[in-house]
Amino acid sequence: MMPGYPFKFDRKYLPVIVTILMFVFAFVAASIKYTGFGTFQVFYNMLIDNSFIIISAVGVTFVIISGNIDLSMGAMIAFVSMVAAALTEKVHLSPFLTIPLVVALATLMGSGMGAIITYFKVPAFIATLAGMFLARGLCFVISIEAININDPFFRDVALFQIPMPGNTFISINVIIMLVMVLLGIYLAHYTRFGRAVYAIGGSEQSALLMGLPVNRTKVLVYAFNGFCSGVAGVVYSFYLLSGYGLNANGFELDIISSVVIGGTLLSGGFGYVIGTVFGVLIQGIIQNIITFDGTLNSWWTRIVVGLLTLLFIVMQRVLTFKSKSRVTKSAT
Amino acid sequence: MAESDNDIVKMAGIYKSFPGVQALEKVDFALKKGEIHALVGENGAGKSTLIRVLTGVERPDRGRITLDGKEVLIKSPQHAQELGISPVYQEINLCPNLSVAENIMIGREPTKFGCIDWKAINSKARQIIQRLDIDIDVTQTLGSYSVAIQQMAAIARALEISSARVLILDEPTSSLDAHETRQLFQVMNRLKRDGMGIIFITHFLDQVYEVADRITVLRNGKRVGTYETASLPHMELIAHMIGRSLADYDDMKKTKLESGRRIQGHTLLEAKSLGLAGAIEPFDLELHAGEVVGLAGLLGSGRTEIARLLFGIDRPDSGSISVNGKGVKSFTPLHSIKRGVALCPEDRKADGIVGELTVRENIILALQAGQGWFRHMRMQQQYEIANKYIRLLHIATPSADQQVKNLSGGNQQKVILARWLATNPQVLILDEPTRGIDVGAKAEIQKLVLSLAEEGKACVFISSELEEVLRTSHRIIVLRDREKVTEFSGEVDEHKIMYAIAGSGS
């Protein structure tokens, strides 16, 4: 599973494995219960519908592994889609300019929050909450009503179907999502930045004393999360073909719970990008099951996800190996 | 001062002060190539500060540091590491969630085509671990290994930094058993033979004799001296650490412990066979009204452990305490306060003052705690008490509303003292009350303790400064290796007390 070094079964892989098994189990169970569920297209649809969440969740995984938190994702996605829509429809900027621009803007805003958190020591919760309000507010400053995107490029991308074997298809968003996931895995396990993130999450004090660039890494983590929000926002506008201030409302909490269900410890230092992917898919499959069932209120998704998140946090506590540091008897 | 060619590091004339305390005063220190140099001294002597200056965590106020004859200005911990100065602290400063190999290599991971080369990381780590003669799986998480192994990993990391030539080990053996300690010493000796200079900070003096070539003794921020281990008798070392030089003792007449009135006060506190496994062997202790009992002994001898037991912070697993004849059943600080026992703790910053609160709030703290949540003291009463003690103890503060963190060390100590005096205790336990305080304030506090005894209280005075203990106590109890060794009273020969503290092997 982890490319690069020999796979050794370690207790720390357990939450991720459980998540993946849960997903497989749910898929198999649903396929048995509901006719028409057990097809590739259903699975692909889950990927299509959740690609933007997965993209954003990749960035959030890094934030949480580093021991921090970010609440701004939903607002950033909405903001990015709103700016993209406004630039395309009102200013008539080419999509090839708009898209890099909004992604850069999101990255910049992420870095800004990261800098405030790192250098001004503002608690991450507060700083990103402020970022969230700012981003949402700016959405409505740009436009109170939704802006529909009629630009041909956007429409082409939105409707394009990449054919897959067996008369199935996926969308471009899924490709973008796969690229971002692979990027996340590469960063996490093959770059010094990624390893510094894990180190900081494990013990920021130690990371500092070991000479790691803690401050720079912390800002970069939020910059990367901003970048992911930006890409997610672009993918979301491909998906919805509109920019609206209420887009992605509350998504940040879904994303965070996906990361937790994916096996990443909220306390930091542990977590895998691939786990997050399955964490999102589990939310997706629950939603799908409820839709397929037809009798349940769709709010049940939220309830089940909430219970799952709780279950996973408890399981993480139980499974995480106890830190073996003996209490050193202080000499007096 | 002539620079020896053999010195890797030379620190000359180092001064460092923090608000209220001069941590280092004109300290010189030199480390030779291929030597293990022990740095010893009681708590507050300045060892940690000296190391923090050398490792770039602090900048000295004055003084020079030279590395291989060239003067350097150490700007940061990272810079110090680049210069080859590698500290390994008592708290393992590694990341327990990463693998052993990664902990050793992180920050300098070898890469291949822009990717971290895990194979190379693991093989390099294995090499270094083998150099230390340890056999572990470097791909496993650090947190899954014992503290001893984690420490080895910390040393391995310190060594990996290619030009590491100075290895600083700060209390490395505190969490190790005898076998692991021997392993560590083997590693240290091997590194020494390779030319590394090792600074070994420890309070275990027998370990110093086992492995160190030279010893530097610090006391109260000053360097007492540097000695060849082979030619420094055990007792002389201790004399340097806590008392006068042995030569001085020979000239001195016997000291008469302050007796004043004949101590006839009734027994306020009695401990019978009181002990706690791992902390202190069962001991007997009697405290009478009107007397000061000094606890003397080295770091690690169990003084603070006794204080904690008497005050009810720790629960004993053997023996009993009675206060005023009544047996003690509940061991909590709150009950001790109610019984009239008070403790001024050793670590002012951590266990004593609440920096953000005012002088008044700090002083009435224990009193209010004794009264509980619902019987709140009236403001007027609070100010009365605060002002009374500000006057009584000459606490230098603009007003009772000054935040305590702004006061000097000596005055902070007085605030803590005031807090406990306000509870009107019968028994007052003082753990290192003059640590980190200037000479003048020290003398004031010593006089204060004696006057408290004259009022009829029983005081326990703990200090690593033997002179202080002698000057302030009516009776002295000597502790060694977590055991009560003996008691002295009346006329005492300081030499004898030193013997008792040092034990065999002088």
Structural domain containing residue B30: 7-249
Contact B157, B103 (CB under 8 A): yes
Q: Which two tokens stand for residue A58?
A: 């990749």
B39: domain CATH number?
3.40.50.300
Chain segment B24-64, per-residue pLDDT in tens = 999 999 999 999 999 998 877 888 889 989 988 889 999 99
Closest-CA residue of B relative to A212 is: B107
Give the separation between CA B363 and CA B45, rounded to whole angstroms.
28
Three-state SS annotation for B60-73: CCEEEEEECCEEEC
Average pLDDT over chain A, rounded to whole? 87
Regarding whether B279 and B221 lie in a shared domain, the answer is: no
Q: Residue B279 above 80 pLDDT?
A: yes
Q: Do B115 and A186 touch (CB under 8 A)?
A: yes
Strands B292-296 and B475-479: parallel
Regarding whether B346 and B243 lie in a shared domain, the answer is: no
Q: Do A324 and B143 touch (CB under 8 A)?
A: yes
Regarding whether B263 and B242 lie in a shared domain, the answer is: no
Contacts of B302 in chain A (CB under 8 A): 332
| H or E segment and range at residue B316 | none
Regarding whether B259 and B319 lie in a shared domain, the answer is: yes
Residue B408 or residue A106, greater confidence: A106
Please tell me the predicted confidence (pLDDT) of residue B261.
47
Regarding whether B169 and B102 lie in a shared domain, the answer is: yes
Average pLDDT over chain B, rounded to whole? 85
Please tell me the predicted confidence (pLDDT) of residue A10.
64
Closest residue to B107, CB basis, from A212, A270, A332? A212
Contacts of A208 in chain B (CB under 8 A): 77
Closest residue to B106, CB basis, from A190, A199, A332? A199
Mean pLDDT of A301-325: 71
Q: Do A201 and B171 touch (CB under 8 A)?
A: no
Closest residue to A321, CB basis, from B119, B139, B143? B143
Per-residue pLDDT band for B262 (boundaries 50, 70, 90) equals low
Contacts of B77 in chain A (CB under 8 A): 208-209, 211
Contact with chain A for residue B162, Cβ under 8 A: no
pTM for this model (two decimals): 0.76
Q: Residue B213 above 80 pLDDT?
A: yes
Contact with chain A for residue B175, Cβ under 8 A: yes
In a domain, B1, yes or no: no
Number of folded domains that form chain B: 2
In a domain, B281, yes or no: yes
Closest-CA residue of B relative to A270 is: B97
Instruction: State the complex-level ipTM.
Output: 0.84
Contacts of B304 in chain A (CB under 8 A): 332
In a domain, B81, yes or no: yes
Contact B186, B178 (CB under 8 A): no
Q: Residue A194 above 80 pLDDT?
A: yes
Please tell me the predicted confidence (pLDDT) of residue B399.
86
Pick from A276, A311, A290, A238: nearest CA to A77? A238
Please tell me the predicted confidence (pLDDT) of residue A175.
94
Measured in angstroms, the CA of A186 and the nearest CA of chain B are apart by 8
- With vertex at residue B374, the alpha carbon angle to CA B369 and CA B377, rounded to the nearest 5 degrees, is 65
Contact with chain A for residue B303, Cβ under 8 A: yes
Q: Which residues pair with A279 in a beta bridge?
A: none
Closest residue to B77, CB basis, from A201, A209, A326? A209
Regarding whether B286 and B350 lie in a shared domain, the answer is: yes
Contact with chain A for residue B19, Cβ under 8 A: no
Pairs of residues, one from chain A and one from chain B, whose beta carbons lie less than 8 Å apart: 112
Regarding whether B450 and B360 lie in a shared domain, the answer is: yes
CA distances A281 to A16, A31, B189, Å, are: 13, 15, 56
Mean pLDDT of B329-341: 87
Measured in angstroms, the CA of B393 and the nearest CA of chain A are apart by 27
Regarding whether B104 and B182 lie in a shared domain, the answer is: yes
Q: Do A211 and B78 touch (CB under 8 A)?
A: yes
Interface of A with B (CB under 8 A): 4-6, 8, 10, 12, 186, 189-192, 195-196, 198-199, 201-203, 205-212, 269-270, 321, 323-326, 328-329, 331-332
Give the separation between CA B486 and CA A318, rounded to whole angstroms.
50
Closest residue to B97, CB basis, from A202, A209, A332? A202
Closest residue to A206, CB basis, from B93, B122, B303? B93
Q: Which residue has the tokens 């000097």?
A: B408
Q: Which of B193, B218, B249 is the last residue of a domain?
A: B249
Closest-CA residue of A relative to B90 is: A328
Q: Which of B207, B228, B249 is the last residue of a domain?
A: B249
In a domain, B28, yes or no: yes
Regarding whether B92 and B74 lie in a shared domain, the answer is: yes
Regarding whether B307 and B449 lie in a shared domain, the answer is: yes
Q: Find the largest Cα–Cα distance for chain A.
A: 76
Q: Which of B215, B232, B249 is the last residue of a domain?
A: B249
In a domain, B267, yes or no: yes
Regarding whether B84 and B117 lie in a shared domain, the answer is: yes
Measured in angstroms, the CA of B287 and the nearest CA of chain A are apart by 22
Regarding whether B170 and B291 lie in a shared domain, the answer is: no
